[in-house]
């Protein structure tokens, strides 16, 4: 695949060297197109050496090849990282004063912007208007990560980790190769991931084996299809997916509060988190010590049924609700009963235990629809299951 890696004039440009390495080592032909000021951060010689291709920033180099037109026409993906506020403003208004903005005007392939700037610049109404304009034209504009910025500042505006940007690039390239569009562009989606923990005392908790990998795959896939993604993560130790706003929670009640808040603005909700059905009736403020006799029986109380609550009180007309059912025994029978009880539109049912599903990189499932449909997804990467889920969601959105 032919990839144009656009580089804006931000300090985060150094991270794009790693993104370039990941793209080239995976077999893609990458041409780096920096803006003139981007070369103040990382020089042309570095880009040329890492890519094996020239990396001019102006439109007057190799004029006989008409690069300001040909590069965009022949690319399979244009990925801009970092995308500064200035660069996105020029792209949104159709300027073409350098090679990169000219390429953005001629590109007929998917275009992805990975913004990086200070929080105040990202949140400014002018930047948000430019982001909306670019998204309305079919570009994928990822949400920036939150964290340490230049100097002592911290907040939204950080460039996501190169490995996560690479994952987005691969998903966009795969869909482009299959002739599939950005069918979630302009949509807001909510994904939950991980496993909740219910504290017994400051040391111990009731929990489960969910790693959050499937939920994170769903978040990545949605971002690569153009969605604005909120990810509610319960006790997950994974890198934040590029393009997702991550909300961290611990318990089932924490997760319920975060999900209900985000669901109010979401077109689709995918509840991939493994939520504890029960919690201890009381939590000890101090560590429970071992005594000479058997401990008192542990009394449990029910947690809120978040999936049924979401399905029964939809926050928006036409909102699509997807649940997950981790089952043993008669998986299909259990799944059909759960689908009827929860009232969701789709239920992803998979077998767990004995090394299946939890903590693995692969999964297999049957996706049951409230309309009686059954979609079988054979064992494969969790990203493949994520794409099938979003295919079914996209077909049900109004």
* Catalytic residue IDs: 208
Q: How many CB atoms lie within 10 A of CB 224?
A: 31
Alpha helices, DSSP H, located in the chain: 13-25, 44-51, 67-74, 85-92, 99-106, 119-123, 125-136, 162-177, 213-224, 252-263, 306-312, 331-342, 382-394
Handedness of CA 82, 85, 88, 90 (dihedral sign): negative
Distance CA 291, CA 156 (A): 49
Q: Is 68 helix (H, G, I), strand (E, B) or coil?
A: helix
Distance CA 19, CA 170 (A): 12
Query: On the CB side of 366, how many CA atoms lie within 13 Å of its CA?
Result: 14
Distance CA 201, CA 222 (A): 37
Distance CA 267, CA 57 (A): 40
Residues 369 and 345: beta-carbon distance below 8 Å: yes
Distance CA 8, CA 33 (A): 9
């Amino acid at each position: 695949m032919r990839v144009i890696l656009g580089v804006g004039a931000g300090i985060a440009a150094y991270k794009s060297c790693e993104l370039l390495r990941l793209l080239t080592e995976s077999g893609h032909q990458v041409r780096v197109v920096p803006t003139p000021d981007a070369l103040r951060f990382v020089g042309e010689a570095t880009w040329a050496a890492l890519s094996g291709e020239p990396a001019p920033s102006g439109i007057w180099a190799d004029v006989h090849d008409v690069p300001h037109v040909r590069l965009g026409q022949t690319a399979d993906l244009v990925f801009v990282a970092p995308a500064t506020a200035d660069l996105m403003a020029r792209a949104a208004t159709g300027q073409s004063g350098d090679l990169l903005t000219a390429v953005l005007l001629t590109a007929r392939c998917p275009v992805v912007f990975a913004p990086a700037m200070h929080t105040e610049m990202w949140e400014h109404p002018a930047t948000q208007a430019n982001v909306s304009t670019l998204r309305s034209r079919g570009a994928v504009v990822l949400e920036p990560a939150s964290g340490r910025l230049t100097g002592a500042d911290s907040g939204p505006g950080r460039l996501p980790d190169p490995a996560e940007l690479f994952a987005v690039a691969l998903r966009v390239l795969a869909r482009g190769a299959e002739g599939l569009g950005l069918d979630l562009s302009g949509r807001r989606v909510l994904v939950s991931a991980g496993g909740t923990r219910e504290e017994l005392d400051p040391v111990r908790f009731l929990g489960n084996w969910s790693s959050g990998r499937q939920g994170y795959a769903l978040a990545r896939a949605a971002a690569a299809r153009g969605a604005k993604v909120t990810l509610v993560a319960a006790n997950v130790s994974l890198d934040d997916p590029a393009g997702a706003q991550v909300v961290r929670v611990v318990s089932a009640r924490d997760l319920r509060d975060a999900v209900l808040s985000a669901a109010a603005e979401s077109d689709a909700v995918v509840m991939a988190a493994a939520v504890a059905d029960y919690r201890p009736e009381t939590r000890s403020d101090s560590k429970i010590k071992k005594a000479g006799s058997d401990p008192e029986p542990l009394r449990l109380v029910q947690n809120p049924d978040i999936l049924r609550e979401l399905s029964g009180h939809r926050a928006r007309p036409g909102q699509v609700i997807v649940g997950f059912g981790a089952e043993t025994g008669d998986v299909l029978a259990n799944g059909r009963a759960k689908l009827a009880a929860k009232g969701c539109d789709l239920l992803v049912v998979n077998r767990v235990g004995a090394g299946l599903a939890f903590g693995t990189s692969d999964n297999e499932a049957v996706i049951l629809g409230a309309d009686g449909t059954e979609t079988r997804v054979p064992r494969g990467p969790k990203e493949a299951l994520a794409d099938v889920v979003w295919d079914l969601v996209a077909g049900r959105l109004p």
